[in-house]
Amino acid sequence: MPDVIFEINRDLNVSMRDQVVPGHNRWHPDIPAATTIRPGGSYRIECKDWTDNQVKNDDSPDDIRDMDIDPCHMLSGPFAIEGAEPGDLLVVDILNMGPFQEQSWGYTGIFSKENGGGFLTDYSPQASKAIWDLDGIWASSRHIPGVRFIGNSHPGLFGCAPSHDLLSEWNRREQALIDLNPHRVTGDIPPHDGVVPGAPQVPALALPPLPQGALLGTLSGSSFDKVAAEACRTIPPREHGGNVDIKDLGVGSRVYMPVYVPGALFSIGDLHFAQGDGEITFCGAIEMPGFIDLHFDVIKGGMDRYKTNMPFFKPGRVGPNYSEFITFEGISVEDGRNYYLNATVAYRQACLNAINYLMPAMGWSFEQAYLFLGAAPIEGRIGGLVDIPNAAASVSIPLSIFDRNILPV
Ligand code: ZN
């Protein structure tokens, strides 16, 4: 077993804040390294689930409904890699990962519309939850009967720290987006604006820095407040990778990551036992705490040599290798309105068409089908983006997941 370089107390009720070395939940180059490691070695990193243990193994969705997202995502790290410098590429091999022996279950949640919602929040505004039992490579759920599948385990979120310049750029452009409609979430438009108050819309356009709930590793004292005030949230993917939620970044993958600061300051978390393309329920994978084994190397000057400022990767060859699917189509037309080449709308329609089919075929509620599409290793594809005015997208579901033949007879 590789050396453990980040340890999580096996009493999983112990918060990330109270670990021997705490992790962090914001991005900033001044968050101190948890430890320094040599490239050329393999290491084990232990992780909390992304919410720091806010979800329980029971049948009530109240914990999802009341989720505090301010402390999310709880990440392990940062790890300084000896010799890594800005402009290098950090080479990360994903060697192995899995749940802890102490918790052989994970969860998928649908956020309520009042708490930010998800991809289909207008169709399913209430909080909902599925607990998945993890049995080796298999997942099944008492909340979603009739399916059992092999997980495509992967980390939802990892990346190197941004430089100060890159951090400022993230804050600048995300604030500019928020400024387009600052009253979007509250719908609370002051009367003197001369604008008719609108209905609240979720989710927010973007999330600005938020000192409340911030955890910055071992940083404390006066520098804590300054860093917390400008550190970026972990929700969106950015130029360092971050929360990409790419299900194909599984075991066996080799990832090439841009280095923006001395030592790279690599962090990781949000482990997923399985996930469908799009992670549509937002809390949409099978979320779990657990371990991940990584090997690190450095390519000096790799960003310039390979002309990149984004991660790229070679996916692993470890399954699940499904061969037969049922595929649902969607186009960029919603509620009688034609959206111009909009792949998001097309994907939503493909998901809705899948749900409408699965509900009677499996005897499921809308929420059960929705949770299933977020958690199971479904394949999302963009078909055409050129056939004006409609984008086409598709959702493919492996047939062997189901305990019955769901094809039309
Ligand atoms: Zn996740």
d(CA 203, CA 189): 17
Domain borders along the chain are 3-314, 325-401
The Cα–Cα gap between 39 and 298 comes to 7
| Residue 310, CA atoms < 13 Å, CB-side half-sphere | 6
How many angstroms is it from 231 CA to the middle of ligand 1?
A: 20
Span 335-370, pLDDT tens digits: 999 999 999 999 999 999 999 999 999 999 999 999
Ligand 1 centre distance from Cα of residue 105 (Å): 14
CA 132 to centroid of ligand 1, rounded, Å? 14
Ligand 1 centroid distance, CA of 283 (Å): 6
Separation of CA 154 and ligand 1 centre (Å): 10
Rounded distance from Cα 156 to ligand 1 centre (Å)? 5
Residue with tokens 């937002």: 282
pLDDT at 252: 97
Q: How close is the Cα of 75 to the center of ligand 1, in Å?
A: 11
Q: CA angle 13-15-18, nearest 5°?
A: 120
| 210-232: pLDDT as tens digits | 999 999 999 999 999 999 999 99
Pairing state of beta strands 89-99 and 254-258? antiparallel
* pTM higher than the cut 0.85: yes
Q: Collapsing DSSP states into helix, strand and coil, what is residue 87? A: coil
- Ligand 1 center to 235 CA (angstroms): 10
pLDDT of residue 202: 84
CA of 226 to the centre of ligand 1 (A): 28
- CATH code for the part of the protein at 325-401: 3.10.28.20
CA of 112 to the centre of ligand 1 (A): 17
Measured in Å, residue 160 CA sits from the centre of ligand 1 at 18
223 C-alpha to ligand 1 centroid (Å): 30
The residues pairing with 31 across neighbouring beta strands, listed in sequence order, are none
- Does 267 have pLDDT greater than 70? yes
pLDDT-derived band of residue 190, with 50, 70 and 90 as boundaries? low
Q: From the centroid of its chain, how far is CA 71?
A: 15
Residues within 5 A (CB) of ion ligand 1: 50, 156, 270, 285
End-to-end CA distance of the chain: 50
Question: Rounded to the nearest whole angstrom, what is the distance from the C-alpha of residue 269 to the centroid of ligand 1?
Answer: 8
The domains spanning 3-314 and 325-401 adopt the same CATH topology = no
Q: What is the CA(280)–ligand 1 centre distance, in A?
A: 11
Domain 3-314, classified CATH 3.30.565.10, yes or no:
no
Which residues, in sequence order, are CB contacts of 155 under 8 Å at separation 6+?
Answer: 47, 94, 97, 249, 268, 269, 270, 271, 272, 292
| 270 CA → ligand 1 middle, Å | 5
Q: 284 alpha carbon to ligand 1 midpoint, in Å?
A: 7
| Contact status, residue 375 vs residue 284, Cβ threshold 8 Å | yes
- What confidence tens digit (pLDDT) does each residue in 108-150 have? 999 999 888 889 999 999 999 999 999 999 999 999 999 999 9
Would you state the pLDDT for residue 194? 59
How many C-beta neighbours within 10 Å does residue 316 have? 18
